[in-house]
Amino acid sequence: MAKITLIGAGSVEFTRNLLADILTFPELRQSRIALHDIQPDRLQTAVAIARHTNQKTGAGATIETHLDRRAALDGADYVVNEIQVGGYDASLIDFRIPAKYGLRQTIGDTIGVGGIFRGLRTIPVMLGIGRDMAALCPGAILLNYANPMAMIPWAVYAGTPFGNVVGVCHSVRDTHAFLAKTVGVPEDEIAFTTAGFNHQAFVLRFERNGESLYPMLDEAIARDPEGLGRRVRVEIYRRFGYFPTESSEHSAEYVPWFMGRDEEVARYRIPVDEYLRRCEENLGEYDEMKALIASGRGFGVEPTHELASNIIHSMVTGTRRVEYVNVRNGGLISSLPAECCVEVPALVDRGGVRPIAVGALPSQCAALNRTFLNVVELTVRAVLEERRDLVYQAAYVDPNAAANLTLDQIRSMCDELLEAHSELLPGGLRGG
36 is catalytic: no
CB count, 10 Å around CB of 273? Answer: 16
H or E stretch including 379?
helix 363-385
Enclosing H/E stretch for 349: strand 341-349
Quote the CA–CA distance of 407 and 401 in Å, as a whole number. 9
Alpha helix positions (H), 137-199:
152-159, 171-183
The number of residues making up the chain comes to: 432
Apex 316 CA angle, 314 and 317, nearest 5: 65
Q: Write down the catalytic residue from 36, 52, 170, 305.
A: 170
Q: How far apart are the first and last CA of the chain?
A: 51
Secondary structure class of 241 (helix, strand, coil): coil
C-beta of residue 372 within 8 angstroms of C-beta of residue 365: no
What is the DSSP secondary-structure string of 270-323? --TTHHHHHHHHHHHHHHHHHHHHHHT----------HHHHHHHHHHH---EEE
Q: Which residues contact 251 (CB under 8 A, 6 or more apart)?
A: 199, 200, 232, 233, 236, 244
DSSP 271: -
Catalytically active residues are 170
